[in-house]
Amino acid sequence: MFQTIRQMNRIIDNEERAAESVSSSPMPEEKLDGVLLGKYEICRLLGFGGFGKVYEACHVVTKQSVAIKVVSKRDLRERGLMSQFQTEIAAMRRLNHPHIVKLYEVLATKTKIFLVIEFAKGGELFDKFVKSGPFGEDQHRRWFQQLISAVQHCHSRGVFHRDLKLDNLLLDEDLNIKVSDFGLSATTKDIRPDGKLHALCGTPAYLAPEMLNDKGYDGDKVDVWQCGVVLYVLTFESLPFTGANVQTQLRRIRRGEVRIPRRGKPENLIHLMKRLLDPNAKRRITIDEILKDPWFKKGYTEIKVQQKNLEWEDENRPKSLNAFHLISFGSGFDMSGLFLDRPELEFSGSVERIVSKETPRRIVEIVEAAADRDIVTVTGKEDGMGAKVEGHDGTFAILIGVYRLTDELVVIEVKKKEQDGDMGAQFWKDKLRSRILELEHKPE
Amino acid sequence: MGCTCSKERLVHEDPAVLAAQTCFNVSEIQGLYELFKELSSSAVDDGLISKEKFQLCLLGSSKIQSLFADRVFHLFDSKNNGVIEFGEFVRALSVFHPVAPQEQKAAFAFQIYDLWQTGFIERDEVRELILALLRESDLILSADLIEAIIDQAFKEADLKGDGKIDLEEWNEFAAQNPSILKNMTIPYLK
């Protein structure tokens, strides 16, 4: 009976292209083994993802287990999936959440691209569920809470998964959810001028009704619907919409014909499920409302997103600077040079401090105007001492401090930190640097 | 610990003694020793840190003239023999430890800024230090503005109004403005 809840074929609609199934077609390619690029030792084949094979591997030095998704560049080009693949990488880079698999790094050779991803030791929730399920209401709730927390994080960073299903929810060794496979995800960039997403993609059984009506849809509503399907499958061990063939199935989804059986299930769980699987997207429960739902809330503690070390120590920043503050900026005082193994987080790119006649408020406004909401969030404006520009992907942060020097002048101080990659350096160079430099006051 | 270590102990001070005198414990001092070995072995491996090596670590070049690195080196080189030994290194770094007392940090900074070692921080010294900063940074300040900034600092710090800042006044000023001693703390040491 469990076979009925797995639906392998996925629809990828790359704009004009016809729907194409890219499920488990093993590519007739040489098997990957040995040490990859001198860094990862390939252990075994784990399976086939949307774009290619996935291997378990282990870092040669740290021995950390990772999953490596191997994608052929030619294959991507020939199937017209290059931009979708780039979206997957961009989406994963933005995310940093305990219940979302992490993208550690992207490696490439002439012909292949390798995504080095967090390895979820527990495998697919689907397999676990089929083998040892059902797990009971409390465990289902725990998974659902972790899923919702992960989806909330995605949406806060402008990422819509669009293919949430049991097969894409992995587990770690402690049975915690790790949302994976952002191969069909969309980011805010994909939103059309009408404010909607349009591509028809996903797994038929999990498609939301509004995805089938050609009028565009909201990515967050669709993700909520799919969470509803996940909860339904966990609870009833079957799919909410089935049919003798995909056409029938899709017709039922389009009509929103969902029957939620009541047999022996708690009232408030059924109520939540009805609200999740509301065919009317406008009326459907939102993530914020889910967080307040009685069934959901039980035992839920907000899942903290661990921050990478992009914080600055100096929380007690002075409002204004005196002569000795200026002197203390001297590079000879920076003892960090003595510590060879210090984490190399700070990136350079000139403009560390300049004087300006602008007000702190105006400077923050200029920073905000320059900040591309797709890439960064601007925070820390409240104290009127500048702002912090943080990359959505959590890999970089730029602190723009504004300190009063005299009645007329302020000092603008720019600190930059970055981890993995060069998104921050690029952002600084393209968007901010010249705008900050324009503010400089030079004495005649 | 092998025999090489006991040989080194003949040259360097006992970690236990250093631990008692500083903010570091014995294992941290052993860690610092590894660091010291690396720093002192650049260019000439003589187990000592010369001014050139020190500048190379701090500024990435031994060629750059830096008044600040110069002053800091002299404070590290407490025996004033032109090189930093391991004991000097640990004692000086201890001042930069996050838990080191503020007064210790203030006294260290005072000695750095008292360029001519007169026991006072004077206007000319402050001007010299500001000019040194402007030379090495992107900041551009007019001469008038520099004087105005010095005026303001002395108005606040020189409580006795004799045109110079003594250690007592400095301690008071640093207590009022703890952020001026921020560079006297190395967060990594925690």
The pLDDT value recorded for residue A230 is: 95
Name the burial class of residue A277, with classes exposed (0-12), middle (13-18) and buried (19+) by CB atoms within 10 angstroms of its CB.
buried
A404, closest residue in chain B (CA to CA): B149
Residue in A closest to B187 by C-alpha? A313
Instruction: Report the 10 Å Cβ neighbour count for A2.
Output: 14
Give residue B10's pLDDT band: very low, low, confident or very high (50, 70, 90). very low
Contact A409/B at CB under 8 A: yes
Per-residue pLDDT tens digits for A78-92: 888 888 888 888 888
Q: Are B35 and A334 inside 8 Å of each other by CB?
A: no
Nearest to A316 among B133, B179, B186 (CB): B179
| A138, burial (CB in 10 Å: exposed 0-12, middle 13-18, buried 19+) | exposed
Distance, CA of A183 to CA of A18 (rounded, Å): 17
Choose between B128 and B15: higher pLDDT.
B128
- Residue A338: closest CA among chain B residues belongs to which residue? B57
Residue of chain A whose Cα is closest to the Cα of B92: A335
Helix residue ranges per DSSP H, chain B: 3-11, 15-21, 26-40, 51-59, 67-76, 86-95, 102-113, 123-136, 143-157, 167-176
CA angle A298, A301, A159 (to 5 degrees): 105
Chain B residues touching A334 at Cβ < 8 A: 58, 183
- Residue A69 annotated as part of some ligand binding site: yes
Residues A405, B149: C-beta atoms closer than 8 Å: yes
Contacts of A332 in chain B (CB under 8 A): 58-59, 66-72
Choose among B101, B91, B104: nearest CA to B24: B91
Cβ distance A406 to B153 less than 8 Å, yes or no, reads no
- The whole-number pLDDT of residue A2 equals 46
Q: Which residues of A touch B183 (CB under 8 A)?
A: 328-330, 333-334
Query: How many Cα atoms occupy the beta-carbon half-sphere of A239 within 13 Å?
Result: 25
Q: Which of A316, A332, A442 sits opposite B140 (nearest CB)?
A: A442
Instruction: Indicate the pairing of strand A40-48 with strand A159-160.
Output: unpaired
Angle between helices B51-59 and B67-76 (to 10 degrees): 130
Closest CA to A123 of A166, A171, A82, A81: A171
Q: What is the pLDDT of residue B34?
A: 86
Determine if residue A191 is left, alpha or beta; phi over 0 gives left, psi from -120 to 50 gives alpha, anything else beta.
beta
CB contact under 8 A, A324 and B177: yes
Which pLDDT belongs to residue B7? Answer: 41
pLDDT for the residue numbered A251:
87
- Whether residue A355 and residue B139 make contact (CB cut-off 8 A), yes or no, is yes
DSSP A111-162: SEEEEEEE--TTEEHHHHHHHH----HHHHHHHHHHHHHHHHHHHHTTEE--
Q: What's the average model confidence in pLDDT over B12-40?
A: 88
Which has more confidence, B115 or A2?
B115
Tallying the residues shown for chain A, one arrives at 444
**Of B105, B112, B90, B96, nearest in space to B19 by CA:** B90
> Parallel, antiparallel, or unpaired: how do β-strands A410-418 and A396-404 relate?
antiparallel
Catalytic residue positions of A? 163
Inter-chain residue contact B145 with A353, CB threshold 8 Å: no
Rounded to two decimals, what is the model's pTM? 0.59
Give the residue carrying structure tokens 């010249």: A434
pLDDT of residue B161: 94
For residues A24 and A16, what is the distance between their CA atoms, to the nearest angstrom?
Answer: 23
Is A406–B148 a contact, with Cβ atoms under 8 angstroms apart?
yes
3-class SS of residue A2:
helix
Q: What is the pLDDT of residue A310?
A: 63
Which domains does chain A show, CATH number per domain?
2-297 (1.10.510.10), 331-437 (3.30.310.80)
B130–A313 CB contact, under 8 Å: no
- Show the beta-strand stretches assigned E in A291-385: 353-356, 376-379
Q: What percent of chain A has pLDDT over 90?
A: 37
**How far is residue A186 from each of residues A171, A226, A251, A430, B140, measured CA to CA in Å?**
23, 15, 25, 24, 46
pLDDT of residue A19: 33
pLDDT class of B119 with cuts at 50, 70, 90: very high
Interface test with B, best of A309, A317, A327 (most B CBs within 10 A): A327
The answer to whether the CB atoms of A339 and B188 lie below 8 A apart is yes
Give how far A333 is from chain B: nearest CA, Å.
6
Q: What is the pLDDT of residues A344-377, one digit of tens each?
A: 566 766 668 999 999 999 999 999 898 877 778 8
Q: Peptide bond before A134: cis, by omega within 30 degrees of 0?
A: yes
Residue A417, SS3 per DSSP: strand
Distance CA A54, CA A58 (A): 13
pLDDT tens profile B48-71? 999 888 888 887 777 777 888 889
Mutate to test the interface with A, among B28, B61, B137, B172 (most CBs of A within 10 A): B137
User: Which residues of chain A have a pLDDT value below 70?
Assistant: 1-33, 50, 305-315, 340-346, 348-351, 393, 420-421
Which pLDDT value is given to residue B2? 41
**DSSP code of residue A45:** E
Integer Cα distance of A184 and A160 in angstroms: 9
Residues ≥6 apart with Cβ < 8 Å to A249: A204, A205, A241, A242, A243
Residues whose CB is less than 8 angstroms from the CB of residue B175 and which lie 6 or more positions away in sequence, other chains included: B102, B106
In the prediction, which pLDDT does B4 show?
44
> Which residue of chain A comes nearest to B55, CA vs CA?
A332
- CA dist B138 and B107 (Å) reads 29
Chain B CB contacts of A339 under 8 Å are 35, 186, 188
**In angstroms, rounded to a whole number, what is the distance separating the alpha carbons of residues A382 and A176?**
37
Contacts of A335 in chain B (CB under 8 A): 58, 72, 93, 96, 186
Q: At B83, is the pLDDT very low, low, confident or very high (cuts 50, 70, 90)?
A: very high
Contact criterion met (CB < 8 Å) for A334 and B183: yes
- A315, A322, A324, A351: which to substitute to probe chain B, counting the most B Cβ within 10 Å? A324
User: A347: which residues sit within 8 A by CB, 6+ positions away?
Assistant: A396, A416, A417, A418, A422, A424, A425, A428
Which residue matches tokens 């020190």?
A: B54
Give the pLDDT score at A130: 85
A351 contacts A414 by C-beta, under 8 angstroms: yes
Out of A313, A316, A443, whose CB is closest to B187?
A313
- The CA–CA distances, whole Å, from A358 to A301, A329, A364, A396, A415 equal 44, 22, 10, 26, 19
| Residue A294 in contact with partner chain B when CB distance is under 8 A | no
